[in-house]
Structure 1
Amino acid sequence: MDGEPPVKIGKQRVLMIDILITAYPWIKAFHLMAVIAWMAGLFYLPRLYVYHTERASVGSEFSETLKVMEAKLYRLIMNPSMIMTWVLGLILVGIPGVVDWGSGWFYVKFACVLGMTWFHHWLGQRRKDFVADQNSVTGRHYRLMNEVPTVLMLVIVIMVIVKPI
């Protein structure tokens, strides 16, 4: 447009973009590894809750063992992998050309990732219930909820790979 000054991009910003573009395959690889670890936890923790609900009486040695397993899975594997998934995903989104902001696939994927994050925190709340010996959710409910990450994963993979919208 005549009369408008050209947009200036600082040398540091150009350098940062160049670094991100060069590092893209590495960022994407570590993002995928974090997603796999997070998904493993999202699949396994509800299964532990089924066992905890159906096979461990309150105060039993098995119940206490499950509490330790659940805590370690949630705090040492699931939380760090969720955080890394988000951090690396946001870095990927910031790399020019990675996302076509005019297509719908990214928005559907993002909504599913928000759903996955909600599910993660829901599992964390249920873990606190078990720690307090206050679980009120049935094993059947945990089995049904275990389908949530599966459905979200299917939609996410289709959106990222096929990009139907």
Structure 2
Amino acid sequence: MFDLLSYAYPWIKALHIVSVISWMAALFYLPRLFVHHVEQAGASGPMHDTFSMMEYKLAQVIMRPAMMATWLFGLALVLTPGLVDWTMIWPWTKGASVIAMTIFHVWLKKQVETVKQGESRVTGRQFRLLNEVPTLLMIVIVFSVVVKF
């Protein structure tokens, strides 16, 4: 199996990068949808319904499969022989950041239902600030992998 992973490495890496880009795009966009939803659409009416549908589809059709693919291809890369030196700090900082990103993903998914039900206690300003979480985690991940500190 490990020989197969070494042979398929460029393909797995490419698929991992595509998955990460898709996941990050959704993680960046969903909080922005929430900002406009809570500030402009309110808790009911046609705009509310449209925002709720957009948020649901983004979370279910793009964000969730992209996260799953990111994890799948990322784990395949971790299992590829000679790729990760576990004595260094970078795989641990990357791993912790990916887990934090996944926790943020799960929290956003819960917000889809909360905002849809009109029960969100998060303001538009708070969603704007929370929108920076994936950016900060992405910076840690990219520097961890590229600089390998």
Fold match, TM over 0.5?
A: yes
Q: When the two structures are aligned, how many residues end up with a matched partner?
A: 149
Match of 2:16 among 31, 35, 41: 31
Match of 2:91 among 106, 110, 127: 106
Q: Per the alignment, in what secondary structure is the counterpart of residue 97 of structure 1?
A: coil
- The 1-side partners of 2:135 and 2:10 are apart by 26
- The 1-side partners of 2:87 and 2:122 are apart by 42
* 1:96 lines up with 2:81 in the alignment: yes
1:103-138: CA deviation from partner (whole Å, max 9, x where unpaired): 010000000000100100110111110121211110
Q: Which residue number corresponds to residue 161 of structure 1?
A: 146
Unaligned runs of 5+ in 1: 1-15
Matched to 2:63, the amino acid is M
- The 1-side partners of 2:66 and 2:29 are apart by 14
Unaligned runs of 5+ in 2: none
Matched to 1:99, the amino acid is V
Q: How large is the RMSD of aligned CA atoms in angstroms?
A: 0.7
Q: Does the CA-based 8 Å contact 2:48-2:116 persist in structure 1?
A: no
Match of 1:66 among 43, 51, 54: 51
Q: Does the CA-based 8 Å contact 2:32-2:127 persist in structure 1?
A: yes
Higher RCO (CA < 8 A, seq sep 6+)? 2
The higher radius of gyration belongs to 1
* 1:45 lines up with 2:21 in the alignment: no
Using the aligned pairs only, state the percent identity.
51
- The 1-side partners of 2:146 and 2:139 are apart by 11
Q: Per the alignment, in what secondary structure is the counterpart of residue 16 of structure 2?
A: helix
Greater helix fraction, Structure 1 or Structure 2: 2
Q: 1:57 Cα deviation (Å)? A: 2.1
Match of 1:119 among 104, 111, 118: 104
TM-score normalised according to structure 1 size: 0.89
TM-score normalised according to structure 2 size: 0.98
Matched to 1:109, the amino acid is K
Q: Per the alignment, in what secondary structure is the counterpart of residue 134 of structure 1?
A: coil
